[in-house]
Chains A and B, each alone.
Chain A
Amino acid sequence: MTLSITADDLVLDYGDTRALDHLNLHLEGGRIYGLLGRNGSGKTSFASLAAAFRRPTSGEITVGGTAPFEAAEIVSQICLIREGGDVFESDRVSSVLRFAAAHRPYWSEERAGQLVERFRIPTRKRVTQLSRGMRSALGVTLGLASRAPVTLFDEVHLGMDAPSRYAFYEELLNDYLAHPRTVILSTHLIEEVSSLFEEVVILDRGGLVLHESADDMRERGAAVTGPSRDVEDFTSGMRVLGRQTLGATSQVTVFGGLDAEQRRQATSAGLEIGPVPLQDLFIHLTDPERETP
């Protein structure tokens, strides 16, 4: 079962601060989305509205065609995992898992057990006694084992060490392939996780900057590598996102796809054309100096 998410002229204000500014967005069900944005861009606000954690100021958000706020049949299908975990912190981990099992209609006890073992989460300890990394692992476990048709992870893996994060990515992908659902990953660790994304959504200042497939987004730029002088000549006049030089060799990241003729010229000049890191494109697209996407 998969559910789509649609934001229609969505606005969310916190007092005088506008977190989401007339956002329009449609996310098809059954895909893994990367929700990217700088701090304060509206990622968490969007996730909170999708999970019915709060009500929009105006506009509408729907999950599977229904506004989720106070819609019992929909909210049970949505699982938003935040870094804090949203659990009873004085409870033991085993109680937290029992509580989730009792309220999540698609809960997989077997999956929860596998993840507890993989992340070595001590089930007898209280949540307050867990390290930040272990709390993140607990959040990941709750999110994956919930098997909710819409599962959102909001910066949940930031506290994990590198091996645990890669274990999370692996487990997420395996679980998604076995049980397709709508997964939204909000993260700052873009390069690390970008291979998981099927589609990328970039928010900035509460609005939508970009929503397209991860492959299409990568084709928005190119990394040109070769002798420094040749690279400079080739990229002259192009919009440069980044430049790295090692000895006589340079790699310049440019924004905008290269056509067949440009690629032929580059090859004949002995230059290599490679994909652009998603993170570089993200930085460029959310550059405060930049006026339009």
Chain B
Amino acid sequence: MTAARPGTATPATGLATRFALASAGFWVIVVAAFIVIASIVLSVADEPSSVWQGARWIPQYFVLFLGTMLSARFLPVYIAHGVTRRRFDAAAFAVVLGTAVGYAAIMQIGFLVERLVFRWSGGTQFPDGVDLVAGPAAVVGHGAEFALLYLAYLVTGWAIVTGYRRYGGLVGTVLLVPLLMLPFYAESVQWRTGLLAPVAGETGVRVENLIVLAGVLATALFIHRSGRNLPVPPGPAGRP
């Protein structure tokens, strides 16, 4: 029950710890599954390619879930402990940003580790697609794209629950359509597949990423505007 000095904690520290703990569990499972699947693929397939690339879509749905937890579970408990919504939002956005960068870094590290395995086994990691870790610039550039993708999913999850809490079930459901455009577009930009791939393919990569970034900022603004009047629900907060 020891605190450094009562009442001196910042929400960012607590949120970052909770996200880190949840993420650690998630990545342990993903990496374990990857090791098993990669071992099988490398020993059985005639021309094995990147297995880690197959795991790329899993984190985005997990961070969507993490985003939903911000308004659904964390905000009411923080308010009940004397933290303002404004302070929580600022802390949460910093943590969301850090989480997106962290997940992107893990993805790129995964590709780099896999690259070592492919070099050792003599296979080709990316026989058809773009080499995501071709050099330092590619590692950083594609890492930034991953970060943008995860950021889009995180803020969308956060915004969806904020919408439901602020405006109720009907409007919250209607808001799903515009809110989900951002992650769908971000995914299409990144992989040139998915629902919005034709739209995403019409501009240059740099412009498309700027559009995603603008979408992230617009969603963050929606969260800020809608969340500043968000009430604590009548039932117990913090229920998982």
Given A48-B232, A54-B232, A70-B86, does the pair A86, B80 have CB atoms closer than 8 Å? yes
Set of chain A residues within 8 Å of B25, measured between Cβ atoms: none
Is A104's CB under 8 angstroms from B82's CB?
Answer: yes
Given A54-B232, A103-B9, A103-B83, does the pair A86, B238 have CB atoms closer than 8 Å? yes
Set of chain A residues within 8 Å of B2, measured between Cβ atoms: 98, 101, 109
- Identify A75's interface contact among B84, B231, B238, CB under 8 A: B84
| Interchain CA distance A76-B78 in the complex, whole Å | 11
Set of chain B residues within 8 Å of A109, measured between Cβ atoms: 1-3, 6
| Interchain CA distance A212-B228 in the complex, whole Å | 36
Q: Please choose the segment from A20-28, A31-39, A88-96, A218-226 that sits at the chain B interface, where 4 or more of its residues have CB less than 8 A away.
A: A88-96
Set of chain A residues within 8 Å of B79, measured between Cβ atoms: 52-53, 75
Instruction: Indicate if A166 sits at the interface (CB-CB under 8 A).
Output: no
- Identify B6's interface contact among A48, A87, A105, A113, CB under 8 A: A105
| Interchain CA distance A273-B236 in the complex, whole Å | 45
CB distance from A155 to the nearest CB of B (A): 12
Instruction: Indicate if A62 sits at the interface (CB-CB under 8 A).
Output: no
Is B83's CB under 8 angstroms from A44's CB?
Answer: no
- Identify A113's interface contact among B1, B232, B236, CB under 8 A: B1
Set of chain B residues within 8 Å of A53, measured between Cβ atoms: 79-80, 231-232
Instruction: Indicate if B240 sits at the interface (CB-CB under 8 A).
Output: yes
Is A100's CB under 8 angstroms from B228's CB?
Answer: no
| Interchain CA distance A109-B215 in the complex, whole Å | 45
Is A106's CB under 8 angstroms from B231's CB?
Answer: no
Is A106's CB under 8 angstroms from B7's CB?
Answer: yes
- Identify A107's interface contact among B6, B78, B237, CB under 8 A: B6
Given A53-B79, A72-B84, A75-B83, does the pair A103, B238 have CB atoms closer than 8 Å? no
Is B82's CB under 8 angstroms from A88's CB?
Answer: no
Is B81's CB under 8 angstroms from A54's CB?
Answer: no
Set of chain A residues within 8 Å of B129, measured between Cβ atoms: none
Instruction: Indicate if B115 sits at the interface (CB-CB under 8 A).
Output: no
- Identify A99's interface contact among B76, B81, B239, CB under 8 A: B81
Is B232's CB under 8 angstroms from A105's CB?
Answer: no
Is A86's CB under 8 angstroms from B236's CB?
Answer: yes
Set of chain A residues within 8 Å of B80, measured between Cβ atoms: 51, 53, 80, 82, 86-87
Q: How many residues of A contact B (CB 8 A)?
A: 44
Instruction: Indicate if A97 sits at the interface (CB-CB under 8 A).
Output: yes
Set of chain A residues within 8 Å of B4, measured between Cβ atoms: 102
Is B14's CB under 8 angstroms from A102's CB?
Answer: yes
CB distance from B83 to the nearest CB of A (A): 6
Instruction: Indicate if B85 sits at the interface (CB-CB under 8 A).
Output: yes
Closest to B79 in A: A53
CB distance from B25 to the nearest CB of A (A): 12
Is B3's CB under 8 angstroms from A101's CB?
Answer: yes
Closest to B86 in A: A70
Set of chain A residues within 8 Å of B240, measured between Cβ atoms: 89-90, 128
Instruction: Indicate if B234 sits at the interface (CB-CB under 8 A).
Output: yes
Set of chain B residues within 8 Å of A100, measured between Cβ atoms: 81
* Contact residues, A140-159 vs B (CB, 8 A): 148
19 sampled A-B residue pairs with Cβ under 8 A: A48-B232, A54-B232, A70-B84, A75-B79, A84-B239, A86-B81, A88-B77, A89-B238, A98-B3, A99-B77, A100-B81, A101-B1, A102-B4, A103-B82, A103-B83, A104-B7, A106-B7, A107-B3, A123-B1
Seed contacts A55-B231, A88-B77, A105-B6; 14 additional CB < 8 Å A-B pairs: A48-B232, A51-B80, A52-B79, A75-B84, A76-B7, A76-B83, A84-B239, A86-B76, A86-B237, A86-B238, A98-B1, A103-B83, A106-B6, A107-B3
